[in-house]
Chains A and B, each alone.
Chain A
Amino acid sequence: MKYLALIVPLLFLALFVYALIKRVKLYDCFTDGIKEAIPLLCSLFPYLAAMLMLSELFEASGLAAKLTSLLAPAFRFLGIPPEIAKLVLLKPFSGSGSTALLSEIFSLYGADSYIARCACVAYGSSETVFYISAVYFAGTKRKNLAKPIVIALFSNFCAVILGCFLCRFI
């Protein structure tokens, strides 16, 4: 797996060489991009904070443990660690909420644990289905969205099962 660490540095190297050939002012351009980081974070922060507070509350009330143990048999049957059940359930609704949950799983179980790796795959292989459906079809007259939404949710859930299976070997 050593060669995987090369991906990111090679990407940067290739792009920056290409950009120099294209006579892009590298420093100006790079800093221009970074400029957008703070507004981006500001637009996200309220949702992160609210979701993390909710998640803490949910945890402290003991309901999270109840939900996890309730779903555990079904998830375990499918090979998904029950610890990531919350993440799998939240992902279709909220991107920042699931980012918050992902970071929590990292600090709870360690970033290199099997559970954390499954969480990474569950997070990385799907998107916020309901958010995308709301935004993409908002400007159109399309009414019946049930079919595409069900297809997307089903495919994403299958990917989580596959991902957790793969994480045992790769």
Chain B
Amino acid sequence: MPDTSPSTMISLVRETVLPDLPADFGAEADFFEAGLDSMGVMQLVMFLEERFAKKVEPEELSRANFRSGKALATLVNEKAA
């Protein structure tokens, strides 16, 4: 079972789209305020689908679900459940 904690999600976002995310970026801090845009979300979706072997459905594509490490962890965990 892969690690789907908020801190892992933040690391994944840093790895794929926001390399300059600070080390102390919190679980509820806002990725969009830190520079995440729609192009970044596209890359993140492709990356998450590959990493967790789950499809992100169109209705799950919302700012709320991609806002923070905590939100992303919830999204991925719900999909895994």
Partners in one complex: no
> Which residues of B are at the interface with A, using a C-beta cutoff of 8 A?
none
